């Protein structure tokens, strides 16, 4: 809740309430504006965190030009109220010594007790803040990759029973997802953690009639890959190599310096190319380095070596430089709107229509961005019918 993306969402909502244009939101584009989405000016935020300070995050984002300084100053009172509403998050066991006291205390709970504590937080916010409807968005730091315990790969399994024998380091995304599902709240996983991709969780959400959206928000380099790769495929050009190098300076970048945390994200970023191009001989690789001075701005440099008519060899290089949080925040709002609409329509389980927002979309193997957008258009058109 005190991270850069959530902080940008918070201030973005305030700017929208002030009448500024909602640039970067898919649901505000001409193609989708007429779909009667939930009014963004009525959105309010609460959440969990394991440490940090909302004021410091906002000030840092203003200092590097992501947030307008006057907006940060005007919303100081809102952030202060938010600080009083933030609930202690559930850290990974390895981070027990790095978090604030109440979050560390939650590590003493059994897994079923931890889920109940998260459910209690949702109920408490509903009561205190008067929320009519809710969505849980998982924005945690990239988790360490772990093996899925036995039993969780079965859609028919009862995840609450599985919790009793699950290891204490079970992915936190699963625990937050279960808390949301049990409270009847749509769950959006914007991270590479498993979350709703776990079959037992997806099946449970389906049975409970709760929408799941995820995984791993697609905001920068991978977005460009899923747009460019279909061009090479559809023009019959042979991509021999596609190499990507990323530099990132925020907390996410620091976390991804840990190979155990970076594994899932790197896998997702590379997998999209092989799915679209279907070329076993293509050489591809992705690397992420932590560069502290970049802070929230990320830089991606890609090199594409391809072959054309008569074996002529050519290359394309691009550099993508952008604010990580400014790209992600509007998508979080889009996804919240889509999740709420899916719930209104009585849809439960993985929502395929949201595929274009994610590197590893639930139950969608086609990574072609244009085809993924067609899924969303068809879903919206079905509603109009």
Domain ranges in the chain are 4-217+326-384, 221-323
pLDDT tens track for 13-55? 999 999 998 999 999 999 998 898 999 999 999 999 999 999 9
pLDDT tens track for 231-286? 999 999 999 999 999 999 877 777 777 787 777 767 777 889 999 998 889 999 99
pLDDT band at 112 (very low <50, low <70, confident <90, very high): very high
pLDDT band at 383 (very low <50, low <70, confident <90, very high): low
Confidence at residue 240, expressed as pLDDT on a 0 to 100 scale: 97
Mean pLDDT of 72-92: 95
Mean pLDDT of 74-99: 94
At residue 156, the 3 state secondary structure works out as: coil
pLDDT tens track for 203-218? 999 999 999 999 999 9
Confidence at residue 294, expressed as pLDDT on a 0 to 100 scale: 93
Q: What is the DSSP-derived secondary structure letter of residue 115?
A: H
Dist. CA 115–CA 111, nearest whole Å: 6
Mean pLDDT of 343-370: 97
Mean pLDDT of 155-176: 97
At residue 335, the 3 state secondary structure works out as: helix
User: How buried is 175 (Cβ within 10 angstroms: 0-12 exposed, 13-18 middle, 19+ buried)?
Assistant: buried
Note the pTM of the prediction, 2 decimals: 0.95
Dist. CA 217–CA 255, nearest whole Å: 16
pLDDT above 70 (res 385): no
Task: Quickly name the fold that domain 4-217+326-384 has.
Answer: Rossmann fold (3.40.50)
At residue 353, the 3 state secondary structure works out as: helix
* Residue 368 φ/ψ region, left for φ over 0, alpha for ψ in the -120 to 50 degree band, beta for the rest: beta
Burial 148-172 (b: 16+ CB within 10 A, else e): bbeebeeeebebeebbeebeeebbb
Domain 221-323 matching CATH 1.10.10.200: the answer reads: no
Confidence at residue 304, expressed as pLDDT on a 0 to 100 scale: 98
């Amino acid at each position: 809740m005190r991270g850069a993306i959530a902080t940008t969402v918070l201030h973005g909502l305030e700017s929208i309430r002030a009448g500024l244009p909602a640039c970067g939101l898919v649901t505000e584009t001409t193609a989708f504006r007429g779909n009667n989405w939930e009014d963004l000016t009525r959105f309010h935020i609460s959440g969990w965190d394991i440490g940090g300070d909302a004021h410091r995050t906002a000030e840092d984002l203003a200092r590097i030009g992501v947030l307008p300084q006057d907006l940060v100053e005007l919303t100081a009172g809102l952030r202060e109220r938010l600080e009083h509403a933030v609930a202690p998050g559930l850290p990974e066991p390895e981070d027990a010594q790095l978090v604030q006291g109440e979050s560390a205390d939650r590590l003493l709970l059994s897994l079923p007790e931890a889920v109940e504590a998260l459910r209690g937080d949702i109920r408490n916010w509903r009561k205190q803040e008067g929320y009519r409807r809710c969505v849980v968005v998982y924005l945690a730091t990239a988790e360490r990759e772990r093996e899925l315990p036995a039993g969780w790969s079965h859609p028919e399994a009862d995840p609450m029973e599985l919790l009793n024998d699950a290891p204490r380091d079970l992915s936190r995304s699963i625990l937050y997802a279960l808390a949301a599902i049990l409270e009847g709240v749509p769950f959006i996983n914007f991270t590479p953690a498993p979350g709703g991709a776990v079959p037992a969780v997806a099946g449970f959400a389906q049975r409970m009639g709760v929408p799941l959206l995820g995984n791993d928000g697609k905001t920068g380099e991978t977005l460009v890959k899923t747009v460019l790769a279909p061009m090479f495929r559809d023009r019959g050009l042979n991509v021999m190599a596609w190499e990507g190098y990323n530099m990132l300076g925020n907390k996410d970048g620091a976390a991804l310096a840990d190979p155990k945390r970076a594994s899932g994200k790197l896998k997702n970023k590379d997998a999209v190319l092989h799915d679209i191009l279907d070329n076993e001989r293509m050489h591809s690789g992705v690397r992420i380095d932590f560069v502290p001075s970049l802070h929230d701005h990320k830089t991606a440099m890609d090199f594409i070596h391809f072959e054309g008519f008569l074996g002529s060899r050519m290359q394309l290089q691009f550099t993508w430089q952008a604010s990580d949080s400014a790209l992600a925040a509007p998508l979080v709002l889009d996804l919240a709107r889509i999740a709420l609409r899916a719930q209104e329509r009585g849809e439960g389980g993985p929502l395929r229509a949201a595929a274009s927002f994610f590197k590893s979309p639930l139950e969608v193997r086609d990574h072609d961005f244009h085809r993924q957008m067609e899924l969303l258009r068809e879903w919206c058109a079905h509603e109009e019918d």
